[in-house]
Structure 1
Amino acid sequence: MLSKEKTIADVSSWANIFDDLLRRIASLTRSPRHHIRMTAVCRSWRASLTDQKINFPAVCLMLREGGNCGNYYFYSTLEEIFDELNLPELRGSRYWGSPFGWLVTHGFNCEIRLFNPFSRASFPLPKNHAFMEKLMLSINPEEPNSNCIVFAIYWDFLDRGRIGFAKPGDLAWRTLSYDGDDDDDGFKFLIDDAIYFKGNFYGCLNSGEIVLFEDLHGAHPKAVEFASRPPRFHGGCTCYLFALGENLCMTYRDPYDDDDDYEYKGYTIFKLDMDTKSWKRIYSLGDRSLFLGNCCTFTVAAADYPGCKPNCIYSTEESIHVEGIYIYDVEKNRDKDIGLEPFPISQRVEQILPSLSSPVWIIPYPL
């Protein structure tokens, strides 16, 4: 039987393992759970594995346990929890997911940060005292020479639908003006979503128009009208922007009134021709899966992410409960209105208590 002194000595020697050997071992695990556990062994291991790239091909729901508990669960589209993390850094914060493995958080103290729940890395952003409706990332902040910009859609005291942007390290948010007309009530333009697409930033208004964000690095950043609303557009619905190949697309949920029971059924999808600025309704996402809700709107190639269904929309819109997560099969609904199907939840997830934090989509280790 090993002595206590021998055990301590062994721990010390493991802490001093060569970096190259440790990284080689980590690369062979092919498991986010093992990778996270290895970084938690000691400071030297964490430092050695900070830049270790690990690909975990799964889109996950990040779920918070109810009450004051700081436990968070990451439930993949493969219908399994791949990890459970205690994240005290998120206590008292709202957060939005992304396809880059990062969250954008907004605390009760009005502090906004980029936070990676797996590496625990973070970047500060300027404070903002307004009510944040949505925070979105342009690109992965960890990319070489990253010029990541965070967009904020928020409500000020007197103005609705304002938008600002900032980069990590900035001292203040910059706001965007709009050259278009105010609505009939005299409010500022209402913007639902924004996306970084082919080197530019675009946004969609609640009225269906598309705007282009110009001069973001100049003295007078502004939003200018880029395309009119799609034909037969039904206003009053939240619009989402996403990329599909070389085209910019927009989708929104269709409301219908059946015997005074007002519900939402399905999605309408339009594709924008970037040259002619004309819209065309489409009935397929091809091999892509689209993710909407409390996150940056994004698509993935279903074949690259096991568990994802091609030509489907995954939605956590307006939901703070797991039961409110749905899948919309675009192909099945082409000729008939089937509606939204409940997201398949395992028994283990059903046992997670609901909280006031909405489930968010996140890709922990993007390809």
Structure 2
Amino acid sequence: MVDWSGLTTDVLEHITSFLPFTDHYRFGVVCKNWRSVSKLRRYPPAPELPWLVLDEESETKKRKFYSLSEAKHYSIEIPELHGRYICGSSYGWLFAIDIKITCILINPFSRECYELPPIPAYNRNVDFTTLLEDVPSDYIEGPRNFTIKEMQTVSVFKAILSHDPKERPDFTVMILFGEKNTPAFWRPGDSSWTVVDGPKCRFEDVLYFKEKFFVVTMMNVLHVVDFEPGPKLTEVGPEIGTEEGDPRQRYLMDFNGNLLFIERFCEDVEELCVTVRFYVLEPNLEENCLYEWYDIDDYVMFLGRNSSIFVYSGHILNCKKNGIYFTHVTLGFCGCYDLGIFDMTDKKISKFYSNEVFPRVGAPIWLSPNPW
């Protein structure tokens, strides 16, 4: 009988290059030798579709995940995520915020974790470091008592990374926080967040593209973050956006080295706000002009509160090519609470998940599994 545990490291490494994340994990529990090989990073796992990070189970407190490739749910015990709200996803890492409005950056599968400073207080009536269950706030006009979970939801709109912390220890975290989704950043060794100086308007997305951070406003104005001599925003490029009206959400994406701007339009249908259309645009920063994309060929996009993701679908099953997979968009306590696929060929929307209604807080988020 063949002694499979005795296979050489180079052969085992080659095998792992063909395995998706879940099989990569199973590979590592076969024996001690295979486990040591599974932790090497010379070959990444085979391409697969992102997972959905869902809420935690009420009884076990395990975090629920949904593998799109396998159409299968997983419940994983991750104590660091108990009671935390997921406000961002980047390079397989999650940003999770607790009841004191402090964040952690965690790889949910390797459990490696960074403690981040408290989020900058943006409301003069709220001290996030001493937040209690129902805190009066003037976040919106008129009196309003917010619960802990609601405050977790609105304090950070999005959080992304410049690099995978396992690849680059000098990474930067950029967040959009507070009432206006103001940009702020943190680097390892910093004791607090640094707020970026800029216009007092609402920002809707942030992207790390070609060694720079870009943000876009709800007025379709693109800015780049200049860190020296002091962090500030500088307007760049042409005015972006279609003439279709006011989109519910705007996204930025690095698509194979192309900077893309994506608009998401929603409509009220039977008392529900649902997604009806996406527009994909490419701003040319050098020529100061704008191009519309009508298809993305064999690729698929994944949009939400995660760093925008695209995947080549040519070798992946259970994937609708030339499509945009999307999750909730929450703007304060309003938004578009649906999940689906927008087909860029026929402009129709279909389902990829059950018709389960998700809560207005704790919306699902995309995650690219990273076993390291």
Q: Same fold (TM over 0.5)?
A: yes
The structure having more radius of gyration, on CA atoms, is 1
Q: Paired residue for 2:157?
A: 133
Shift of 1:205: 0.7
**What root-mean-square deviation, in Å, do the aligned CA atoms of Structure 1 and Structure 2 show?**
3.7
Q: Paired residue for 1:326?
A: 340
Shift of 1:224: 0.9
Shift of 1:273: 1.2
The one-letter amino acid paired with 1:341 is S
Q: Paired residue for 1:14?
A: none
Alignment of 1:122-271 (within 5 A): 122-128=113-119, 130=121, 131-143=155-167, 145-155=168-178, 160-178=180-198, 180=199, 188-215=200-227, 218-227=228-237, 228-232=239-243, 234-235=245-246, 237-256=248-267, 263-271=274-282
1:207 is paired with a residue whose SS is: coil
TM-score (norm 1): 0.75
Q: Paired residue for 2:64?
A: 73
In 2, Cα distance between equivalents of 1:162 and 1:37:
42
Query: In terms of mean alpha carbon deviation, does 115-124 or 133-142 score higher?
Result: 133-142
Extract unaligned runs of 5+ from structure 2.
Answer: 122-154
In the alignment, is the contact (CA less than 8 A) between 2:12 and 2:37 conserved in 1?
no
In the alignment, is the contact (CA less than 8 A) between 1:287 and 1:302 conserved in 2?
yes
User: Deviation digits for residues 179-232 of structure 1, max 9, x if unmatched?
Assistant: x5xxxxxxx1211001111121111111111111112xx341111111223352
In the alignment, is the contact (CA less than 8 A) between 2:120 and 2:193 conserved in 1?
no
Q: Paired residue for 2:47?
A: 57
The one-letter amino acid paired with 1:357 is G
In the alignment, is the contact (CA less than 8 A) between 1:151 and 1:163 conserved in 2?
yes
Shift of 1:294: 2.5
1:153 is paired with a residue whose SS is: strand
Number of residues of Structure 1 aligned to a counterpart in Structure 2 = 325
In the alignment, is the contact (CA less than 8 A) between 1:124 and 1:168 conserved in 2?
no
| Aligned residue among 280, 298, 311 for 2:291 | 280
The one-letter amino acid paired with 2:159 is L
The one-letter amino acid paired with 1:155 is G
Q: Calculate percent identity across the aligned residue pairs.
A: 25
In the alignment, is the contact (CA less than 8 A) between 2:57 and 2:63 conserved in 1?
no
Q: Paired residue for 1:89?
A: 80
1:177 is paired with a residue whose SS is: coil
Shift of 1:281: 2.1
In 2, Cα distance between equivalents of 1:297 and 1:274:
20
The one-letter amino acid paired with 2:184 is G
Seen in structure 2, the aligned counterparts of structure 1 residues 293 and 71 have a Cα distance that, compared at 3 Å, is same
Seen in structure 2, the aligned counterparts of structure 1 residues 355 and 21 have a Cα distance that, compared at 3 Å, is farther
In 1, Cα distance between equivalents of 2:267 and 2:55:
32
Seen in structure 2, the aligned counterparts of structure 1 residues 87 and 26 have a Cα distance that, compared at 3 Å, is farther
In 1, Cα distance between equivalents of 2:156 and 2:94:
14
Alignment of 1:112-127 (within 5 A): 112-127=103-118
The one-letter amino acid paired with 2:300 is S
User: Deviation digits for residues 311-343 of structure 1, max 9, x if unmatched?
Assistant: 1111112379xx93201001111xxxx3x2111
Seen in structure 2, the aligned counterparts of structure 1 residues 236 and 75 have a Cα distance that, compared at 3 Å, is closer
In 2, Cα distance between equivalents of 1:266 and 1:113:
34
In the alignment, is the contact (CA less than 8 A) between 1:26 and 1:35 conserved in 2?
no
In the alignment, is the contact (CA less than 8 A) between 1:292 and 1:313 conserved in 2?
yes
Seen in structure 2, the aligned counterparts of structure 1 residues 219 and 45 have a Cα distance that, compared at 3 Å, is farther
Query: In terms of mean alpha carbon deviation, does 189-198 or 304-313 score higher?
Result: 304-313
Q: Paired residue for 1:365?
A: 370
Extract unaligned runs of 5+ from structure 1.
Answer: 1-16, 181-187
In the alignment, is the contact (CA less than 8 A) between 1:57 and 1:365 conserved in 2?
no
The one-letter amino acid paired with 1:163 is P
Q: Paired residue for 1:303?
A: 314
The one-letter amino acid paired with 2:117 is P
Q: Paired residue for 1:289?
A: 300
Seen in structure 2, the aligned counterparts of structure 1 residues 68 and 152 have a Cα distance that, compared at 3 Å, is farther
Alignment of 1:95-114 (within 5 A): 95-98=86-89, 100-114=91-105
TM-score (norm 2): 0.74
Seen in structure 2, the aligned counterparts of structure 1 residues 231 and 26 have a Cα distance that, compared at 3 Å, is closer
In 1, Cα distance between equivalents of 2:272 and 2:55:
31
In the alignment, is the contact (CA less than 8 A) between 2:89 and 2:306 conserved in 1?
yes
In the alignment, is the contact (CA less than 8 A) between 1:208 and 1:235 conserved in 2?
no
User: Deviation digits for residues 276-319 of structure 1, max 9, x if unmatched?
Assistant: 12112221123321111131122222225443322111111237
More contact order relative to length (CA 8 Å, sep ≥ 6): 1
2:314 is paired with a residue whose SS is: helix
